[in-house]
Amino acid sequence: MNGAHPSRAAARPGFLASALSVAGRFSDVDAARRWLHERRGAQRCRVERIPFASLRGWGFEPGSGDLAHESGRFFRVQGVRVQCDFPAPLRFEQPIVDQPEVGVLGILARRYDGVMHFLLQAKMEPGNINLVQLSPTVQATRSNYTRVHGGARPRYLDYFRPGSGCRVLVDQLQSEQGLFFLRKRNRNIIVETDEEVPLHDDFHWLTLGQIKKLMQDPHAVNMDTRTVIAAVPLAPGDGGALAPDSPPHPPPGTFGEALIRSTRAASAGCQPIEAVISWLTEIRARAAIDCRPCALGAVRGWDRDAHELRRRDGRYFTVFGVAVESDAREVPGWTQPMVQPVETGVAAFVTRRIGGLLHFLVQARMEPGLWNLIELGPTVQWLPGAPTDEEDAPFMLREVLDGSAGVVRHRSTQCEEGGRFYRYTTRNLVIELDEGDDRPVTPNHAWVTLGQLNTLIRYGNHLNIEARSVLACLDVQE
């Protein structure tokens, strides 16, 4: 892969033009919905819960009690013990998924009629509601794309390899759910090609604007697509150039116009980016956090029977086995453990115009599986039963849930990653406060512009998956 010449890249219509385009070369939004519905009907998929003893190649290891695959690959379920003083003194232990491999979440881009289109896949994952959702062009763990399972090679993988001739538009290592994964990261990458791309029936070209509209639908765009799309800066880096027939910018005063102005404000805002980074660094340096892996069999407060591993009080999450059949995956059938949170989570960004410029309220949040232990989350992030969310109701949770906080700019319910989580859903919200609402915030919250968030995303391990998933839903056409 190679980079585009900066002057040529800046002169070409880019992400903003694509975000403003809902009429793509290949379909409009309604036709894209029909195509996804048709692919759901065309793929034969079956998922059945099974007892642990029926898992093929998986078992609880003698001694540690860890649930692992006989190959030593894929992932394992082990334990973790945590003692911390941030944001308050807390001590807990729990199972956690250890998947040290860096997976590839890659989206292939190509321009049609001067507008960038993105190749998404109608992909079946056993934990998805509706089973088939829109995933990146390539979504694969190292074990999968090196074919440890003995199945077929992922389609379009070569576009993301060195020497492909594609231009790299986005390339980052980003974290996954820190409450469930131990230091899990994926390579989020977007590459652009000028070549004709052979199209398989399960793949479809969509503009960024079409993808954003589909994110308003429940369980249509999967988490892996959302985390990659979150890395797309709407204006910086592509000059904000528009194709001659692209829709115009949103009218002044609209939320969409405010998003574009906030995106361009990487150095502006109520505080400079250096101050934001220093604030986060100070919190990370001051916090005392001890997070140590341990044997699954030694985790206290959790019970296992023939069918399920669960917390004794029935809260937080459970672990169980599934048998999967699919005629649209690299292998036609397999078994695996899955994690299912007991309740739906909430991830909400509160926004406000400060000095006329749209800002987002982020929080510094500790999660035991994160590389840096503390990353920036949305204003409100809440999963009932999670140890970090049990002591006190999160700041502004009540106002977000009862609708009294402000104007709702986005609301959707989405599945989390369906390869490891079974029907785990999160309510995603974006809320705009009145410009005069200058309520005090906690010391662990800070106001930042969208441009500053783009900067933090670019370098990885600063924004957690819940924050990125909500940011991906932001639509300049609102």
Architecture of the 273-289+342-472 domain: Alpha-Beta Complex (3.90)
Conformation bin of residue 253: beta by default, left when phi > 0, alpha when psi is -120 to 50: left
Tokens of 242: 């528009």
- In this structure, are residues 416 and 339 in contact, taking their beta carbons and an 8 Å threshold? no
Residue 6's pLDDT is: 35
- In this structure, are residues 50 and 323 in contact, taking their beta carbons and an 8 Å threshold? yes
- In this structure, are residues 45 and 325 in contact, taking their beta carbons and an 8 Å threshold? yes
Which band of pLDDT confidence, cut at 50, 70 and 90, is reported for residue 273?
A: very high
Per residue in 210-226, pLDDT (tens digit) is 999 999 999 999 999 99
CB neighbour burial string for 406-435, b if at least 16 within 10 angstroms, e if fewer: beebbebebbbbbbbbbbbbbbbbbbbbee
From residue 158, how far is each of 116, 247, 418, 424 by CA, in Å?
20, 34, 24, 32
Stated as kind and residue range, the H or E segment containing 427 is: strand 425-432
Candidate from 13-17, 84-88, 124-128, 424-428 with smallest mean pLDDT: 13-17
pTM score, two decimals? 0.94
Q: Is the pLDDT of residue 319 over 60?
A: yes
Residue 478's pLDDT is: 78
Average pLDDT over residues 24-45: 96
- In this structure, are residues 210 and 225 in contact, taking their beta carbons and an 8 Å threshold? no
Average pLDDT over residues 290-306: 98
For the CA atoms of 138, 139, 143, 149, the dihedral, rounded to the nearest 10 degrees, stands at -90
Each domain of the chain, given as residue ranges in start order, spans 6-46+100-244, 47-94+293-340, 273-289+342-472
| Residue in this structure with the two tokens 């001051």, named with its chain if needed | 286
Which band of pLDDT confidence, cut at 50, 70 and 90, is reported for residue 7?
A: very low
Distance CA 206, CA 215 (A): 13
Which band of pLDDT confidence, cut at 50, 70 and 90, is reported for residue 2?
A: very low
Q: Is the pLDDT of residue 4 over 80?
A: no
Total residue count of the chain as it appears in this document: 478
Which band of pLDDT confidence, cut at 50, 70 and 90, is reported for residue 370?
A: very high
Tokens of 85: 């003083």
Residue 242's pLDDT is: 52
* CB neighbour class for 365 (10 Å; exposed up to 12, middle 13-18, buried from 19): buried
Average pLDDT over residues 114-140: 96
* CB neighbour class for 388 (10 Å; exposed up to 12, middle 13-18, buried from 19): buried
- Topology agreement, domain 6-46+100-244 and domain 273-289+342-472: yes
Which band of pLDDT confidence, cut at 50, 70 and 90, is reported for residue 399?
A: very high
Residue 234's pLDDT is: 81
Q: Terminus-to-terminus CA distance in the chain, angstroms?
A: 35
CB neighbour burial string for 283-314, b if at least 16 within 10 angstroms, e if fewer: bbeeeebebeeeebbebeebebeeeebbbeee
Distance CA 213, CA 30 (A): 10
Distance CA 217, CA 215 (A): 5
Average pLDDT over residues 349-353: 98
From residue 141, how far is each of 70, 74, 103 by CA, in Å?
17, 8, 4
Q: Is the pLDDT of residue 201 over 90?
A: yes
Share of the chain above pLDDT 70, in %: 93
Q: Is the pLDDT of residue 8 over 50?
A: no
Tokens of 401: 């849930």
Pinpoint the alpha helices (H) of 200-272: 208-214, 223-229, 255-263
Distance CA 358, CA 302 (A): 45
Closest Cα to residue 345, out of 367, 326, 313?
367
From residue 9, how far is each of 163, 239, 403 by CA, in Å?
19, 9, 43
CATH topology of domain 6-46+100-244: Nucleoside Triphosphate Pyrophosphohydrolase (3.90.79)
Closest Cα to residue 104, out of 148, 159, 151, 149?
159
Q: Is the pLDDT of residue 321 over 70?
A: yes
Conformation bin of residue 444: beta by default, left when phi > 0, alpha when psi is -120 to 50: alpha
Distance CA 165, CA 391 (A): 52
